[in-house]
Every structure is written in C-alpha cells, then in structure tokens.
C-alpha cells in the first residue's frame, strides 16, 4: 500500500498575500530536513503538503520523526493512498488502520471531498467507510464528539487519502521566515530555550558566546556547541561566535566595585553582541533572562543592560517560571546537556553581594574607571566563528 506523510500548514494560512514567501521557506526547510533520508517528492494542495517517497531507499519512518521538528506545521499524519473508487476505499480503510482500530474503543469517520466529481458526497463516504471499519472491528463504537480514533478520508484530484489520528506538528512559523536575531548563548538551561522559542517564531539564529579562558574550561564552550547543535535541528544552521572576554573581565575586577561586576559584564556582553549582530545582519538580540530569577535579572538590572544595546532585546522567557522553562528544555532535549557541570562564568568574577537595584548613573561611573573601548574592540575582532549544522 502506498503511504505518504501529510503536513498541515499552521499559521501560514493567516498570511494572506505574503503566504507564498512563507511557503517557500517551509518547503526549503522540509527539503533540508529530508536531504539525507532519501528521495521524496514534496507537493502542496490547498493547505496540505504531501511528502511521498520517490523510491524504496526513502525512509518514511525517519522522515515522519524529523518532520515533527519542522516549524510552520500544525499537524502531521501518515496516510495511505488509494485509487478513487468507493469499494477500494472501503477495503483499504480497515486494512491500513488495523493497529489504531485495535487500540481504540470509539471512532468516527470524517470525509472531505475536494474533487466534486467524485460520485459520493462527503456524508455518504463517511458512512460507508464507518460501516466497513465497524464490520471488521465490531468492538469499535461510534462517537461523534470525542472519538479515540478519528479516521479521515480525503478525496483529492489524483487519489483518495485515508488516515487515522494526526500528531501535533512543531507549530510556529517556518525557520528563517521572520528575520534573524543573535542569541547570547551560555551553557545554562535558559538561553537554549530562548533560542528555540524565537526560532519557532520564524527567526533565523546567530549565536554569541563569551568565554573567559583559563578561568572557564574549554569544555564549557564545547557544551555550548552541543546545545546549539540541538537547537539547529529546529532553527537550521547556526553561526556561533566565541568571544574571548578574559582581559575585559580582569579589568573589571581590577578597577570596579565588586557589587557591580555582573551588571558591568552584562553590559559589555550586550555591546559586543550588538556589534557582531549588526555585522551578521541580525535585527535583534535574544537572551534567556527571566524577571527575578537572579540578582542580575531584576527590572532595574535589566534596564541597565538594555541601555547598552542599540538593538531590540528579545527575552522570550521574561514572564516564565523556572519550572516551565525546564519543561520546554526537556521537551526539546537540551536539558540533559545544560545540566552538565561545566560552568561558563567563573566564580572568581561573581560578586558576593551583587547590587540588585543598580542605577544607570552609578553603573556608568563604574565603567568610566577604565578604558574599555580598545578591549572591547580586541575581543570582537578575536571572536572565533564556527558554523553549526544539524545532524
């Protein structure tokens, strides 16, 4: 029996005249995800994308799993393709859906007739298929409101398609369809989740990571790369810039008041990231900040960090609890890597009593205690670029 994967467009449906552009990106992303899985044909009719294997070397099972991580898709199902003949459809439905039917107690059949030349109308098709399935699986009871198994029969121009329950797609907008932003990525739990969330809204991702060797271990940077590799499965390839921040941090420590260390470091991170972001055509920065989570994330501290960047700073986690963030990180599979013990910020530079309500005038006064401009230039110039691609 020939099988295809059906993908339902998500929010693209709302995009009116711009829709072709979004669909173009979605197709490109689908092709990218399937490039090593075999030869597939990808076609679209109305708001459904049909992915079918061109030959036997294409693995539908793998494709089905991979497509569940592609943004811009609201639901995914596997369907069998049947000739447009009522008897053939009645025969194929119980055969193709055997496993699902055995596992369910209630069912319903919905039919859609896109090809109006087909001799039977939708309610008749649904009734006939329901009878055929009910005959083979007499334990199944009809439930029109909340069926455990929803069987859908679609009569299209070229063929009929039969499928059982859909699984949810990754939602959001096609990666890369809504501009590009640069994420300040640490090895923690939050910033990978923040990257994922903005990629889900269709943003292409560039990453900036600050390293403080020899105070921080090279394993911390490796860990960041591993995290970005997981994020890239969703977002597509990510260019990551690792910026050496040791000299700058040492100068902060030598010249400034300890309680301001963290907020000063954050502001220098913002400045360096803004420069890299602009050079990389990014329209915004992304951070994993969440109000009140730590001393540097009070609204007063965020006001001071924000003032150091001329770009909008997107903080998708700002109103979320740690528990909610952890739940997402488990789901997207960054959690296990994030909790590995290699710290990316050394305790040598962490103040014992950080200022929780810094005022911008005070912070600027601290910054004026040393000439940071050449150090910042040097750090940005020495940033090392690595392009990270999904497996």
Q: In angstroms, rounded to a whole number, what is the distance separating the alpha carbons of residues 8 and 116?
A: 21
Give SS3 for 218: helix
Contacted entry of Mg ion, ligand ATP, none for residue 288, CB cut-off 5 to 8 Å set by kind: ligand ATP
Q: Which of 356, 311, 315, 310 is nearest to 197 (CA)?
A: 315
For Mg ion, which is the closer residue by CB, 12 or 325?
325
Q: In angstroms, rounded to a whole number, what is the distance separating the alpha carbons of residues 204 and 178?
A: 7
Q: In angstroms, rounded to a whole number, what is the distance separating the alpha carbons of residues 72 and 170?
A: 7
Q: In angstroms, rounded to a whole number, what is the distance separating the alpha carbons of residues 364 and 307?
A: 11
Select the residue whose beta carbon is closest to ligand ATP and give its number: 188
- Two tokens, residue 240: 């990551």
Q: In angstroms, rounded to a whole number, what is the distance separating the alpha carbons of residues 35 and 31?
A: 6
Task: Select from 102-110, 133-141, 146-154, 291-299 the region that touches ligand ATP (CB under 6 A).
Answer: 291-299
For Mg ion, which is the closer residue by CB, 188 or 202?
188
- Least Å from the CB of residue 351 to ligand ATP: 13
State the number of binding residues for ligand ATP (CB under 6 A). Answer: 20
- Least Å from the CB of residue 349 to Mg ion: 13
Determine contact, residues 224/256, Cβ cutoff 8 Å: no
For ligand ATP, which is the closer residue by CB, 30 or 197?
197
For Mg ion, which is the closer residue by CB, 80 or 189?
189
Q: In angstroms, rounded to a whole number, what is the distance separating the alpha carbons of residues 78 and 88?
A: 18
Binding of ligand ATP at residue 185 (CB under 6 A)? yes
- Two tokens, residue 286: 């992304």
Binding of ligand ATP at residue 289 (CB under 6 A)? yes
Q: Which of 238, 237, 234, 224 is nearest to 196 (CA)?
A: 234
Binding of ligand ATP at residue 73 (CB under 6 A)? no
- Write out the binding residues for ligand ATP, residues 251-280 only, by CB under 6 A: 269
Q: Spell out the residues 6+ positions from residue 147 whose beta carbon is closer than 8 angstroms to its own.
A: 104, 106, 107, 108
- Least Å from the CB of residue 329 to ligand ATP: 9
- Least Å from the CB of residue 242 to ligand ATP: 9
Binding of ligand ATP at residue 356 (CB under 6 A)? no
- Two tokens, residue 251: 């100068």
Contacted entry of ligand ATP, Mg ion, none for residue 52, CB cut-off 5 to 8 Å set by kind: none
Distances (CA, A) of 126 to 32, 92, 110, 118: 37, 14, 6, 13
Q: Draw the binding track, 299-328, toward ligand ATP (x: CB under 6 A; -: no contact).
A: ------------------------------
Q: Draw the binding track, 177-196, toward Mg ion (x: CB under 5 A; -: no contact).
A: ---------x-x--------
Question: Exposure pattern of 374-384 as b/e (b: 16+ CB <10 Å)?
Answer: ebbeebbeebe
> Considering only residues 77, 191, 221, 246, which one is a binding residue for ligand ATP as defined by CB under 6 A?
191
Interface residue list for ligand ATP (CB under 6 A): 184-186, 188-191, 208-210, 269, 287-289, 293-294, 296-297, 344-345
Interface residue list for Mg ion (CB under 5 A): 186, 188
């Amino acid at each position: 029996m020939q099988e295809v994967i059906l993908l339902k467009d998500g929010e693209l449906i709302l995009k009116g005249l711009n829709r072709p552009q979004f669909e173009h990106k979605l197709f490109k992303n689908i092709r990218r995800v399937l490039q090593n899985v075999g030869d597939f044909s990808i076609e679209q009719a109305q708001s459904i994308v049909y992915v079918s294997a061109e030959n036997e070397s294409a693995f539908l099972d793998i494709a089905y799993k991979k497509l569940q991580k592609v943004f811009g898709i609201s639901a995914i199902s596997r369907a069998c393709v049947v000739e447009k003949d009522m008897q053939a459809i009645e025969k194929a439905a119980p055969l193709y859906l055997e496993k699902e039917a055995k596992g369910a107690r209630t069912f319903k059949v919905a039919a859609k007739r896109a090809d109006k030349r087909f001799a039977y109308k939708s309610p008749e098709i649904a009734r006939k298929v329901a009878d055929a399935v009910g005959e083979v699986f007499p334990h199944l009871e009809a439930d029109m409101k909340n069926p455990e198994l929803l069987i859908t029969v679609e009569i299209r121009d070229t063929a009929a398609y039969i499928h059982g329950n859909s699984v949810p797609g990754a939602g959001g907008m096609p990666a890369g369809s809504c501009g590009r932003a640069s994420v300040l990525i640490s090895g923690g739990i939050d910033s990978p989740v923040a990257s994922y969330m903005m990629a889900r809204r269709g943003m292409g991702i560039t990453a900036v990571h600050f390293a403080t060797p020899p105070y921080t271990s090279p394993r911390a940077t490796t860990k960041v790369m591993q995290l970005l590799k997981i994020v890239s499965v969703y977002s597509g390839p990510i260019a990551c810039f690792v910026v050496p921040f040791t000299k700058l941090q040492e100068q902060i420590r030598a010249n400034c008041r300890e309680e301001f260390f963290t907020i000063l470091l954050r502001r220098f991170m913002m400045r360096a990231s803004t420069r890299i972001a602009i050079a990389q055509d990014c329209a915004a920065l992304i951070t994993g900040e969440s109000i009140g989570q730590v001393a540097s994330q009070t609204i007063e501290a965020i006001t001071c960090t924000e003032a150091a960047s001329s770009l909008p700073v997107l903080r998708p986690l700002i109103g979320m609890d740690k528990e909610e963030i952890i739940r997402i990180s488990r789901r997207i599979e960054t959690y296990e890597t994030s909790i590995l013990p290699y710290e990316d910020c050394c305790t040598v530079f962490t103040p014992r009593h950080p200022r929780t309500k810094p005022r911008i005038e005070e912070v600027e006064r601290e910054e004026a205690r040393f000439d940071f401009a050449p150090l910042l230039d040097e750090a940005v110039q020495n940033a090392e670029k690595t392009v990270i691609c999904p497996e």
